Structure 1
Amino acid sequence: MSSVLLTLGICFISVGFLPLARWLKCKVSKHHWRVCEIENITTVVSNRITALELVQQQTMLVNFRFNGHLHSVLVGHDDTLFSRFKQGKVCTLLVDVDNPTYVYNNAQLWHNFALVWLLAGLSLLIGSFHFS
């Protein structure tokens, strides 16, 4: 029983470190990205009548300034980002320096997922030593 808990704990901890490794990779390649504050978000809804299988994912039109110019891009609808913006909180996007239409959502919600996996892995490790 303790070896199973130990193995599961190690697996959970390694899964918890994956988002941290992704963050480190983004940090290393940061010279290609610039953080831009979002000026406006508008939800975009298509009112075309189509079959359910052909319905496109709901999108948002996001406006931001990059190098003094106003840019607009369509991104996938993100409820968390939209609600944070409507609450008046500062929201940012990571913008590619070479192509300002290529953006990445900088919500950093991976902190919560990484923390849950790491805590679950640590509790399984503690449980494995407790049951041995």
Structure 2
Amino acid sequence: MRVLLFLLVLSFISCTPFSKYSKFNKTQNCYEAYVCISNNSLQLKYQSFGGFKFANDKKAYKNLQKGKKSPFKNIIMYGWSNNLNGDYYLLLDNERHPENYQYKDTIIQNRKITIALSNSVTYKTNTDFLLNFKLNK
């Protein structure tokens, strides 16, 4: 009985919407107002605007979202911008599609990677830029 209770508690504690690959994310400033995000384990390279705050784990996500639950699972990275009044997710093997997001998928090394960009980011130049993938070379 104690073992079952321990396993149940452990499953709730370790439950996270973030992918096991999110811990391999690296961010660095590139160019003037941009941030380059890479994840070598997924062969992913992504460029974002510099005004975003990022989360790679559940704790950082809760701090940015004030405790709100994520609408997605298998999050590689989460970005939120007060300047653009919106957010986006980089997702691995996404199967959820809430209506308040727009999506772009790509396949990298037989894995589906999705960008989910909130519809509150409306300026076309911004959405086109944020829905763009780059592969590591």
- TM-score, normalized by length of structure 1? 0.28
Higher helix share: 1
Higher RCO structure (Cα 8 Å, ≥6 apart)? 1
- Bigger-Rg structure (1/2): 1
- TM-score, normalized by length of structure 2? 0.28
